[in-house]
Amino acid sequence: MALLSALFANFFAVFLILAFVAVVLLLEALYLFWSARRSPEAKKLEQRLQTLAAGAAPRDEAATLLKQRLLGGAPAVERLLFAIPRLRGLDRMVEQSGLRISVARLLLISLGAGVLALALGLGFRLPAPLAWLLGLLAALLPLLHVRRRRAQRLQRIDRQLPDALDLICRALRAGHAFSAGLQMVGEEMPEPIGGEFRITHEEVNFGVSLSQALMNLATRIPSTDLRYFVIAVLIQRDSGGNLTEILGNLAALIRERFKLLEKVRVLAAEGKLSAWILAVLPFAVAGIINIINPGFMRVLWTDPVGTRMIAAALFGMALGIVWMRRIIRIHV
């Protein structure tokens, strides 16, 4: 009996030791899984891969395969995405917007929003054309959000570019190389321009020529001012000249252009306000009339002629909004 008790005690002790080791290994595995997926290093690596996927055109098969894997999560999704034309442009727009989202997830969100809006429209017994139009507009909202974020990010880069050029000029005057100036901008300037210049400096360190790295920078950021900077640097490297003076004059020119642009925006503010009033006024009047006298507006929903009138009015309003936007949108 004592022997059995001793064996049981030894077995229980060994079991506790093995259980402890198993729990430690499980925690280590969970930590490694989190570190591979959610750690800052993994997020930085994922950001670099997404940037490469939306960068310049591929130069070899390996780069092409890398970009194909970044568009979705499954092979079937990849084949479906590559069947859609101009998907590279959408992938590049998502990367330029700064959003950490894949093309597959963006398309899935757009499809879900469109189907939900269509179901709500049919559930509230709206006419079929209006319900389909509502679904189409809802499906376009995520894409419009990405486009708006892209425009805001590019605008921030344009605002930060003169300061970045001044920092490069100070680095050149201090005797540093041009690549060292790129590194200073990447380390000292805030996002988003700091990250873009940091990527360019890392490409140069990885063996990419400075000309190709600057061309990749211009491809990732479709900004006119940034392309002027790239062209000025490339011309100076071929023909010579005082790069510090060139970049200083370019920074001053960009700042003067922004001053003129702000004056133009102030002068065009009245036109923008008129455009908003003219766009919102028909919907506001229709809503007020529908609240006061619902029977008066019901004809537009029930009669086929009324639905056609609504469709024609919406088309005319959309055309007028686009036309007025082009009138008040002044490029400097």
Number of domains in the chain: 3
Whether residues 94 and 169 share a domain: the answer is no
| Model confidence pLDDT, tens digit, residues 227-251 | 999 999 999 988 888 899 999 999 9
Contact criterion met (CB below 8 Å) for 167 and 188: yes
Domain ends where: 126, 151, 176? 151
Q: How confident is the model at residue 116 (pLDDT cuts 50, 70, 90)?
A: very high
The answer to whether residue 191 sits within a structural domain is yes
Confidence of residue 171 (pLDDT cuts 50, 70, 90): very high
In the prediction, which pLDDT does 91 show?
A: 80
Reported as a pLDDT band with limits 50, 70 and 90, residue 77 is: low
**139 lies in the same domain as 52:** yes
Of 151, 176, 209, the residue at which a domain comes to its end is 151
178 lies in the same domain as 235: yes
In this structure, the answer to whether residues 237 and 296 fall within a common structural domain is: no
Residues 254 and 316 in one domain: no
* The pLDDT of residue 38 is above 60: yes
Helix, strand, or coil (residue 331):
coil
Q: Are residues 108 and 164 in the same domain?
A: no
Q: How confident is the model at residue 48 (pLDDT cuts 50, 70, 90)?
A: low
d(CA 165, CA 51): 23
How far is residue 310's CA from residue 300's CA, in Å, rounded to a whole number? 7
pLDDT of 86-106, one tens digit each? 777 788 888 888 888 878 888
Question: What mean pLDDT do residues 263-285 have?
Answer: 82
Residue 31 lies in a domain: no
pLDDT score recorded for residue 67? 41
User: What pLDDT shows up at residue 235?
Assistant: 92
**Count of C-beta atoms within a 10 Å radius of residue 233:** 19
One domain for residues 193 and 147: no
Could you tell me if residue 28 is inside a domain?
no
pLDDT at 268 over 50: yes
- Domain span at 63: 42-151
Q: What is the pLDDT of residue 54?
A: 47
User: Phi, psi at residue 60, to the nearest 5°?
Assistant: -150, 175
**Domain presence at residue 90:** yes
**CB contact at 8 A, 279 and 317:** yes
Q: Is the pLDDT assigned to residue 314 strictly greater than 70?
A: yes
Domain boundary pick from 151, 168, 199: 151
- Position 11: which residue type? F
Q: How confident is the model at residue 85 (pLDDT cuts 50, 70, 90)?
A: low
In a shared domain, residues 195 and 106: no
* Residue 36 placed within a domain: no
CA distance 95 to 192: 12
Domain match, 94 and 180 both: no
Q: State pLDDT tens for residues 15-29.
A: 667 677 677 777 777
- Range name among 66-80, 136-150, 176-190 with the lowest pLDDT average: 66-80
**Angle formed at CA 121 by CA 119 and CA 123, multiple of 5 degrees:** 65
Confidence of residue 55 (pLDDT cuts 50, 70, 90): very low
Q: Are residues 132 and 229 in the same domain?
A: no
Confirm whether 35 is domain-assigned. Answer: no
Does the pTM surpass 0.75? The reply is no
Look at residue 310 in the predicted model and tell me its pLDDT.
83
Share of the chain above pLDDT 70, in %: 75
Q: Do 143 and 125 sit in the same domain of this protein?
A: yes
- Does one domain contain both 86 and 167? no
Tokens of 232: 């000025």
